[in-house]
Amino acid sequence: MTPGAAWRVADRFAPFGATIFAEMTRLAIEHDAINLGQGFPDFDGPSFIGGAAREAIEAGPNQYVRTGGHPKLAEAIATFWNQQTGESIDPLGEVTINSGATEALAAAMLGLVNPGDEVVLFEPFYDSYRACVAMAGATPRFVPLRPDATTGKFVFDEAELRAAFTDRTKLVLVNTPHNPTGKVFTRDELTLIGSLCEQHHCIALCDEVYERLTFDDALPHVRMATLPGMRERTLTISSLGKTYSYTGWKIGWAIGPEDLTAGIRAAHQFIVFSVPGALQLGAAAALTSPEGEQSVRDLVAQYAEGREFLCDALESIGLDVFRPDGTYFVMADFARTFGDRFEDDVAFCRHLTGEVKVAAIPPSAFYEHPEMGRHLVRFAFCKRPETLRAAADRLRSLRS
């Protein structure tokens, strides 16, 4: 190091810079824009969840809790999982509580993947995946998701998927429902991915944080872990944030057989060791109370309306909208109407945030090959109806 020169970020992070969410949220604040960029609700989740955490702060635990997670939350997660899958998992041996799904994903990658291994990612991907692969010293292989010309749904090509698997593949990361496309992977698609996992003896790391947020009864969320032969090789990650509107608590979890759990815990114990006990007890209340279940139903109904409203509003200003089947995001293509005014998605989103005063995310940040996303824009509809109405009013000015 030359004396006096600034310290440099380690090489492994150099390609990633600041996350696009932080940048767009900063811009949104600077321009007083309505933030349809980063995916967090502009309202808090049910107050009984906060109340349960407050009680736990009064009564304890306020010291470090068990590294694998507070037994009450592990129990609540296992009970919910068992109800959904008909299985009978061991809460202490097969559930790990993490600092959000983000830490669960990083710990899984660090704890299970060796330098030189290959990891299959679908592109576009949630931005932390690429950095997690780099942290593990692994090599990513990309499978593009592209909009089907007739259905408008994002799909992958079977030959491209097959070609991404090699004898070095250790893990495939499957995010369903999928951010940013809103795709819900079908049973057939998951079965194909699962069969490749079996064939190549690799792990399926499934990010299911939007598991409850689906909008089409004909296209329900399917858990990879429940497909024949997949339980032994699947680690399923989810979190409190999206389902109960407590994103800032960063309570996430990973469910999987003991050997995969041992991998994630090997890293988790040295990253955070454990997660705040009182917040874990708040999360346990969310999962175990009938009020919690009703709140999820209400939230899905609210988001289904928000989805319709925002998709219609975006179409009315000339965007080609890919109606999502899940998550709380919608992707749209601006090229047909605005392609001649804006060079790419970053220019379009800067204009939206700075001039129209509605912040959105430029999806090229979710691609290894940014040109695939340069005509796209992602909006979040996890907002109050009045926020979406105000955003739609502002967006209309784009046409003038």
The residues binding ligand PLP (CB under 6 A) are: 39, 100-102, 126, 175, 179, 207, 209, 239, 241, 247, 250, 252
CB of 251 to ligand PLP, least distance (A): 7
Q: Is the CB of 100 or the CB of 263 nearer to ligand PLP? A: 100
CB of 175 to ligand PLP, least distance (A): 5
Q: Is the CB of 94 or the CB of 207 nearer to ligand PLP? A: 207
- Return phi, psi of residue 72, to 5°: -65, -40
Q: Is the CB of 181 or the CB of 288 nearer to ligand PLP? A: 181
SS3 category, 235: strand
- Return phi, psi of residue 139, to 5°: -110, 125
CB of 81 to ligand PLP, least distance (A): 17
CB of 248 to ligand PLP, least distance (A): 8
Alpha-carbon span 167 to 49, nearest angstrom: 46
Q: Is the CB of 117 or the CB of 208 nearer to ligand PLP? A: 208
CB of 86 to ligand PLP, least distance (A): 26
CB of 241 to ligand PLP, least distance (A): 4
Q: Is the CB of 223 or the CB of 338 nearer to ligand PLP? A: 223
Q: Is the CB of 132 or the CB of 398 nearer to ligand PLP? A: 132
Residue 188 Cα to chain centre, angstroms: 22
Query: H/E/C letters for each residue in 240-288?
Result: HHHHHCCHHHCEEEEECCHHHHHHHHHHHHHHCCCCCHHHHHHHHHHHH
Question: CB-based contacts of 265: which residues, under 8 Å, 6+ apart?
Answer: 67, 68, 96, 107, 111
CB of 102 to ligand PLP, least distance (A): 3
Nearest to 176 by CA among 167, 188, 164: 188
Q: Is the CB of 247 or the CB of 302 nearer to ligand PLP? A: 247
Tokens 């060791």 -> residue: 273
Q: Is the CB of 168 or the CB of 221 nearer to ligand PLP? A: 221
Alpha-carbon span 233 to 56, nearest angstrom: 36
Residue nearest to ligand PLP (CB): 100
Alpha-carbon span 382 to 328, nearest angstrom: 6
Nearest to 110 by CA among 92, 128, 93, 127: 128
Alpha-carbon span 326 to 304, nearest angstrom: 9
* Pairing mode of beta strands 118-123, 139-144: parallel
CB of 341 to ligand PLP, least distance (A): 29
Q: Is the CB of 178 or the CB of 338 nearer to ligand PLP? A: 178
Q: Which helix (H) or strand (E) holds 120?
A: strand 118-123
CB of 399 to ligand PLP, least distance (A): 30
Q: Is the CB of 126 or the CB of 348 nearer to ligand PLP? A: 126
- The string of DSSP codes covering 323-369 is --SBSSEEEEE-HHHHTTT-SSHHHHHHHIIIII-EE-B-GGGG-SS
CB of 236 to ligand PLP, least distance (A): 12
Q: Is the CB of 356 or the CB of 380 nearer to ligand PLP? A: 380
SS3 category, 146: strand
Cβ–Cβ contacts within 10 Å for residue 188, how many?
A: 9
Q: Return the half-sphere exposure (C-beta side, CA atoms, 13 A cut-off) of residue 268.
A: 27
CB of 127 to ligand PLP, least distance (A): 9
